[in-house]
Amino acid sequence: MKLKKISVYAFIFLLVGCAKPDLITSDDKKIFLDDLKGKWVVINYWADWCPPCIKEIPELNKLNAKYSNELNVFLFNFDRLEGEELETQLKKINAEVPSLITDPQNIYSYTIPESLPVTFVINKKGELSNILQGPQTLEEMEKVLNL
């Protein structure tokens, strides 16, 4: 009986451990959508050839630092860079927020506009709430998020 119970627990543990994450960051952190529920999610698309994108990064860093208990801020490289090339660019722009390598548009079903930067705001229920085009300031994002 005891062996059967242990086997059942081991099987459940393996199932949970094998669950595929919804998002993966550039530093290989696995994120499940359930972990994001109850918090705002801010996803910013940027590129190193986009001066307004680079200008906006410090504002996203401030938003993340100020409200880390209430939201998650993520970057996503428009050019879909990964690995060392992405890490080099993230250091160059002084990004202090995680960068996704899994494109979240597949999860939240939005279309990325042709112009950058663009920021997608996902509400606490996991639904697309706002699309912010152009560089945003901390104050502008606080208004949108009612913070």
Residue 16 lies in a domain: no
Report the pLDDT value the prediction gives residue 17, as an integer from 0 to 100. 56
Q: Is residue 17 part of a domain?
A: no
> Looking up tokens 């939005």, which residue turns up?
110
Q: DSSP strand E in the chain: where?
A: 23-24, 30-31, 40-46, 71-77, 99-100, 118-122, 128-133
Q: Which residue has the tokens 């939201």?
A: 71
10 found inside a domain: no
**Does 34 map to a domain?**
yes
Structural domain contains residue 3? no
Domain-located, residue 59: yes
Q: Which residues pair with 46 in a beta bridge?
A: 77
CATH of the domain at 52: 3.40.30.10
d(CA 118, CA 52): 10
Q: Which domain holds residue 99?
A: 22-145
* Overall number of domains in the chain: 1
Specify the pLDDT at position 94: 96
Mean pLDDT split into 10-residue runs, the chain, 147 residues: 54 60 92 93 96 97 97 96 96 96 89 91 95 96 95
- For residue 126, the model assigns a pLDDT of 93
Does residue 102 lie within any of the structural domains?
yes
Burial class (CB in 10 A: 0-12, 13-18, 19+), 144: middle
- Residues 6 or more apart whose CB falls under 8 angstroms from that of 35 comprise none
Give the residue among 44, 39, 50, 63 at the shortest CA–CA distance from 137. 63
Contact 42, 141 (CB under 8 A): yes
Cα dist. 55→13, 112, 135, 136 in Å? 45, 20, 7, 9
**From CA 113, how far away is CA 119, in angstroms rounded?**
10
In this structure, is residue 6 part of a structural domain?
A: no
**Looking at residue 112, what is its pLDDT?**
84
